[in-house]
Structure 1
Amino acid sequence: MTLVLQAQGITKRFPGVLANDHVNFDLEQGEIHGLLGENGAGKTTLMNILYGLYQQDEGEVSINGKPTRIASPHEAIAHGIGMVHQHFMLVPPLTVTENIILGQESLQARTKFLGRLAALDRRSAAQRIRELSHQYRLDVDPNAYIKDLPVGAQQRVEIVKALYRHAEILILDEPTAVLTPQEADELFIIMRELVKQGKSIVFITHKLREIFAVTDRISVMRGGKMIGTVMPAEATSEMLAEMMVGRKVILMIDKEPAKPGHTILRVENLRVQDDRRATMVHEVSFDVREGEILGIA
């Protein structure tokens, strides 16, 4: 076992809130370590400390066995840590290449061209992006505009951006919150490819199905504390749910069959086009009846 990242006794206080309470966490080389917990459990706070967005009040972080103070995201990147946030850090009017190299321009370029991207070697950057995209099966077009990309593709751009900066450790903060189930499954394939090629991933989520689908280890946080770490093969959904909330949870809901009434909404042959006249919805019809919950998948 080779630890690439270790946090010991991490404590973080905000006014009136103990967000992290002497938390221990580690990440092994080439693994996907799931960090599970309810909203507000302290997961993102811990990862923001590891990425340099916050500074811990107590505790120590080590990278590859060396104690390290991470004072900023710039320092985290220098130590090989990349983070993909739940809300993407992308500029919609710019291309994929421009977004990825933004902030990477040379001092000469910033001085001579007042920060504009015109002086950057976009051609070589685009080629590197193509190489990373092919290597990790990310399917990213360096010339596409962010505003034209679906959410799943924008997320892949964020992953490429971290890899472009030589990240060896990737922190994915609730990455499936904005994805469809199909897009989530595609992300899991990408994550497996990343660790197959030597990367290490922290996967933050509160969804039990996902934690079993892709992780090698599972750590659970509750109320700012680390409750425990288990192997997926040794865990059950009931066990993890109890660790998350601190009590037994009934995961199956026993409900009576619905008795819907008359139709209160009817949609027939709905068609929708975007501003480029591409068809987004084609010939969709459905009814909603009184007293029912209609799911659209």
Structure 2
Amino acid sequence: MALALEMRGITKRFPGVLANDHISFQLEKGEIHCLLGENGAGKTTLMNILYGLYRPDEGRIFLDSREAHIRSHHDAIAKGIGMVHQQFMLVPFMSVAENVILGMEITRRGVLDRSEAARRIREFSHQYGLDVDPTAYVKDLPVGLQQRVEIVKALYRGADVLILDEPTAVLTPQESEELFRIMRSLAGQGKSIIFITHKLKEVFAVADRIT
């Protein structure tokens, strides 16, 4: 299967700490690839490099076999990479639609067109089995649905590679099963997913490949 992503020889140093030591990683198109390891193993650091939050000291990144220079999360988003963090980046008193389009608003004559945004998000969430209500306020949603909003937000911005950082840490067992269903749906439609966890049971439940 074709590679969506390749990281070669990634090294990242912090004062007194070698977080990543010449790490190589590959992600195929349409697969769920699990990054497995204990807390502090450097999994999130590696993905923060891919998402442009850190700059590597050494190493190269390739997307669709072409070298990619990712200097910020804006670069990562523009190149089709999305990330859902453990701490959600949502504004509680805003609606789902407002959160999803924040920073890339759909306008009509210079005015925010909320109805058009809601229509597009509803179609989009239905396509991937997320089924979030674009008119609901984030503060009224349970954690599992807030996480879906984050996923919709990443996909809405064009993510083909989706990083999920310890996504089940805040979920109930039932919500975790729903997340796995969504992940399979996304992968089945060609999205490539990096699933960070330290739980072996989850790996065996959903991963196509493990690193």
Which category describes the TM-score, using the shorter chain as reference length?
over 0.9
| Amino acid in the other structure paired with 1:78 | A
Shift of 1:107: 10
The one of 112, 128, 133 equivalent to 1:136 is 128
Instruction: Please give the alpha-carbon distance, in whole angstroms, between the structure 1 residues aligned to 2:138 and 2:126.
Output: 19
Shift of 1:108: 11
Shift of 1:122: 1.4
Instruction: Please give the alpha-carbon distance, in whole angstroms, between the structure 1 residues aligned to 2:82 and 2:107.
Output: 23
CA contact (8 A) 2:106 2:116 kept: no
Kindly name which structure, 1 or 2, has the bigger radius of gyration based on alpha carbons: 1
Q: Could you report, residue by residue, the CA deviation over 1:26-81 in whole angstroms, capped at 9, with x for unpaired residues?
A: 10000000000000000000000000000000000000000111011111011000
Corresponding residue SS for 2:100: helix
TM-score (norm 2): 0.97
The one of 164, 176, 179 equivalent to 2:168 is 176
Corresponding residue SS for 1:30: coil
Would you say how many aligned residue pairs link Structure 1 and Structure 2?
211
CA contact (8 A) 2:107 2:113 kept: no
Shift of 1:105: 3.3
Q: Could you report, residue by residue, the CA deviation over 1:151-200 in whole angstroms, capped at 9, with x for unpaired residues?
A: 00000000000111011110000000000011000100000000101100
Instruction: Please give the alpha-carbon distance, in whole angstroms, between the structure 1 residues aligned to 2:114 and 2:189.
Output: 26
Output aligned runs, 1:87-166, within 5 Å: 87-105=87-105, 119-166=111-158
Structure 1: give runs of 5+ residues left out of the alignment: 113-118, 220-297
Output aligned runs, 1:225-244, within 5 Å: none
Q: Which has the higher contact order (CA 8 A, sep 6+)?
A: 2
2:76 corresponds to which residue?
76
| Amino acid in the other structure paired with 2:208 | D
1:65 corresponds to which residue?
65
Corresponding residue SS for 2:67: strand
More helix by share: 2
Instruction: Please give the alpha-carbon distance, in whole angstroms, between the structure 1 residues aligned to 2:118 and 2:199.
Output: 35
Confirm or deny that 1:215 pairs with 2:207.
Answer: yes
Runs of 4+ in 1 over 2 A off after TM superposition: 105-109
Confirm or deny that 1:44 pairs with 2:34.
Answer: no
